A and B are shown apart, each in its own frame.
Chain A
């Protein structure tokens, strides 16, 4: 079985971002970048399926400028077998990303595509579902558990009321949630070995897909700031404040 994993390079999730004062976006120059956390869970899931003898090839793909090479290398160091960089300097919308991925999936014909459930920069939570729609494959989003028996996939998904287990035949799309597994940190020898693994580079512009943005980002603004409040002396004072708040809510 062949597994395909899509990974995105984003501003590291520990960085407190800054909105540019002129409203043109978020400052990303000189900011620490890393693999989107949800994508790490997707890569880990693929590697674990490989280790369990259920997958023989894991291909990782990332779309973006040359610098996204580093997250492909991270995935290769975690245990993926080969990488594909789809190079573009343009800021692509999720629909364009999904179309590029669909084109590569059509060529590579994997049995399973794993993605993160959302990228923590744009917080879109789109690409997996879009890819499934474009390919007309079944989808299992927000996965917290994956099992494969023969060509049957069973996924536990996190939903608003708890969890739901869904079964479907392969090929299918799965998007990873944070409770799916604990991603490994690649040991140094694996990091060295990753550089020897095959990495193909393609140009997004040469794939015959219209990548023109559909939306105009008019401006980016910081959220309203909260100001520091006050500290109460004891539990009694807090209880009175809460009681007063509740009385006021009831009055409305």
Chain B
């Protein structure tokens, strides 16, 4: 049977996470991608190009714009009988929608999947990634979220058919009042190749700009600890960790970050970790691949100058 993947999109663009979910799911079978919203022609066209995708199902309606669980779940529930697996990425959208859908279908979902061993067998992290559970399911269909950063992106070789869906608007009673979008021209955290993260020790929003400058010069995504976000130095959607974004870059540079286990939960997939810290005993210093002991207010400006000198380009 076919696999249904719910596309994640924002501002009319397909989220990079979806290409990774498609690649992960392609070991299970042929994939249909479902795109819900309005003004999403480009999203559908981009989804159709992903290799492994057979069909792109599209429903466009003003009622679908806010991407609420109340409006999405009935669409997915109606399509469910035709699919063996229904999969979303483990971002805010998937986390909001998938458990509600599963409960409606009387299915126990398996979420934040980091490895697929077969159609009914998956790995998922528990305890902030300090343990990995291997679970199997004998249920008639599997409802999953997949941790995008744990998988590579699908190639661009596809040419799937785009099929409009009949959509019966539901009478949703929740309405979107306002969206507060973080102005951001840095790479998407969850899929960035390089990430620079800053801790509360930057001391101020002004101090956090040092982290941003270092990221800009090497073309990195910018992340933060919960302590830095709580202090108001960085926006909430930059938080990395158990309760924030999960990253898996080739290189993670942690600036003034202690390495609490809740933060480490978000960076386990990083290939190489560089820690810059005054404290040689900090937990993150103990497990980083490369360590520089020093005050961030001196070392970061010097590092930026040296990288410029070496001619590094973003």
Contact = CB atoms under 8 A, between A and B. Distances in A.
Interface string B103-144: 110111111100000000100011111111111111100000
B294 A230 contact: no
A130 B109 CA distance: 10
A231 B307 contact: no
A167 interface: yes
B99 A94 contact: yes
Size band of the interface chain A makes with B: 35 or more
A129 interface: yes
B96 to A, nearest CB: 5
Nearest to A163: B180
A178 B243 contact: yes
Interface in A66-95: 93-95
Interface residues of B, number: 93
B100 A120 contact: no
What is the interface of chain B mostly: helix, strand, loop, or mixed?
mixed
Contact of B182 (A118, A128, A161, A216): A161
A179 to B, nearest CB: 7
B43 to A, nearest CB: 15
A146 to B, nearest CB: 13
B134 A218 contact: yes
A156 B176 CA distance: 10
B181 interface: yes
Nearest to A99: B103
Interface string A164-202: 111111001000011100000000000000000000000
15 contacts: A19-B130, A95-B108, A123-B128, A129-B69, A133-B102, A138-B172, A138-B173, A160-B10, A178-B230, A214-B137, A218-B134, A222-B132, A226-B273, A232-B291, A242-B312
Task: Across the A-B interface, give the 10 residue pairs with the lowest CB-CB distance, nearest first.
Answer: A239-B306, A130-B103, A229-B289, A133-B100, A129-B99, A133-B103, A214-B108, A126-B99, A168-B174, A138-B174
Interface of B: 10, 66, 68-70, 73, 91-93, 95-104, 106-112, 121, 125-139, 172-182, 193-194, 218, 226, 229-230, 235-237, 242-243, 245, 250-251, 253, 261-262, 268, 272-274, 276, 280, 286-294, 299, 302-303, 306-307, 309-310, 312
